Chain A
Amino acid sequence: MANSTIVETYSRLAEQYDDELNLHSCWGRAADRALSSLMLPEGCRLVLDVGCGTGKSLLKLAADCRPAVEFVGIDPAENMRKRAAERTRGWDNVRILNGRFESIPLDSASVDYLYSIFAFHWTTDLNRSVQELARVLKPDGEMHLFFIGRNNGREFIEKTTPIFLNYLGPAGLLESAKLRKQLTSEAARGLFSRSFDPARLSIAESYDTYYDTLEGHWGWWVRIEGHFVQIAADKKRACDQEVKSALQSLMGDSGIPYTIHQLHVKLQRS
């Protein structure tokens, strides 16, 4: 079962996703860094991007690769897929499909190289998703998943949780929290070890603090708007204003800090 609130919000806001402010925000930079760390192995025939969004990473990889390699990007948000399809038009070796971690529209043992950049935390079913990843990967396939960890964004969380509690109410706040899975490194290891050979599996954990202006950080807010759809439209503006004031209070000499807690699950070739 896909997370319909999140998917619908991403689809609704797809046009804003490629705004310069989002692309150059801490999340845009972290995504670029993750992308630049990917290296397709020799002999790779099918590459899969799960949660491909507007197709930016997929196109970058396809452009750097020989045309014999087939690329598939899947995303559950219709308008994100449309933008990805537009972006990759003319690339005969790139396909954009409707799919998600919980249900990947590819044959078993068909994928040589699977990656995902900041999407896995939106899955609604961790076990099913990992089993699905294991199903589509070839036995010697390689996988790189980048997603947020349990302690992500701690500066913002501390400042904004009391505000969201006020606007969402206790039940709404907890429902909102459950829209996202934020694992500890230990929990991620336990989860992936159930479906993959632990000897080929490793998890790199990192904390990187990014400093930006309020406007710069607000540029990536489009990524989490799905959490706040329960707030009535007439109250949303006031809520946003309170959140902005709270974030502004974090301003220091270097800017407003935001720490990305990233987990990178790697499955190396055997």
Chain B
Amino acid sequence: MNALSEDRLVDLVVAWAKQNTRKGAAVGLRIDKDTDLIATGLLDSFGFVDLLVYLESEAGCRVDLIDADPSEFSVVKGLCRLALKNHRADEDGNGQLHYR
């Protein structure tokens, strides 16, 4: 069963990003599904590693980044779609986060 929806994942990512933005970054900036987490300076690459680990533990989905488009990956909804795509592909698998 695939219980995950894009909206649910977006909510998870937005909530996590609000709690874990880079120190001193973009204070007061609204974070939503269209926010580019890297271009806005909200997250750095270390933050993204943490975010993917969180997605793995919280949503049980893997994010395969091999063919990911950089501009899609860094925007909240794009990242969620990547995660969802792999989650669907893995419905019968282990659903591990996997960023190669």
**Which residues of A does B touch, CB under 8 Å?**
150-151, 154, 157-158, 161-162, 164-166, 169-171, 173-174, 176-178, 182
Contact = CB atoms under 8 A, between A and B. Distances in A.
Contacts of A154: 22-25
Contacts of A170: 65, 68, 70, 73-74, 99
A173 B45 contact: yes
Given A151-B23, A161-B38, A165-B74, A171 B68 contact: yes
A176 to B, nearest CB: 7
Interface residues of B, number: 21
A164 B45 contact: yes
B53 to A, nearest CB: 11
Given A154-B22, A162-B38, A162-B39, A174 B44 contact: no
Interface in B33-54: 38-39, 41, 44-46, 48-49, 52
B65 A171 contact: yes
B24 A169 contact: no
Interface of B: 22-25, 38-39, 41, 44-46, 48-49, 52, 65-66, 68, 70, 73-74, 99-100
A182 B68 CA distance: 26
B99 A174 contact: yes
27 contacts: A150-B23, A151-B23, A154-B23, A154-B25, A157-B22, A158-B22, A158-B25, A162-B38, A162-B39, A162-B74, A164-B45, A165-B73, A169-B65, A169-B70, A170-B68, A170-B70, A170-B74, A171-B99, A171-B100, A173-B48, A174-B45, A174-B52, A174-B65, A174-B99, A177-B45, A177-B48, A177-B49
B68 A158 contact: no
A63 to B, nearest CB: 38
Contacts of B46: 150, 177, 182
B41 A158 contact: yes
Given A161-B38, A177-B44, 13 more contacts: A151-B22, A157-B22, A161-B44, A162-B38, A162-B74, A165-B38, A169-B65, A171-B99, A173-B45, A174-B45, A174-B48, A174-B65, A177-B45
Nearest to B22: A154
A151 B47 CA distance: 11
Contacts of A177: 44-46, 48-49
Nearest to A160: B44
A178 B52 CA distance: 13
Question: Interface centre among A157, A170, A176, A178, by most B CB within 10 Å?
Answer: A170
B63 to A, nearest CB: 9
Contacts of B22: 151, 154, 157-158
B45 A161 contact: yes
Nearest to A182: B46
Nearest to B68: A170
Contacts of A173: 45, 48
A157 B44 contact: yes
A174 B50 CA distance: 10
Contacts of B100: 171
Contact of B49 (A161, A164, A169, A178): A178
A151 B22 CA distance: 8
Nearest to A181: B46
Nearest to A159: B41
Nearest to B41: A158
A5 to B, nearest CB: 15
A68 B95 CA distance: 60
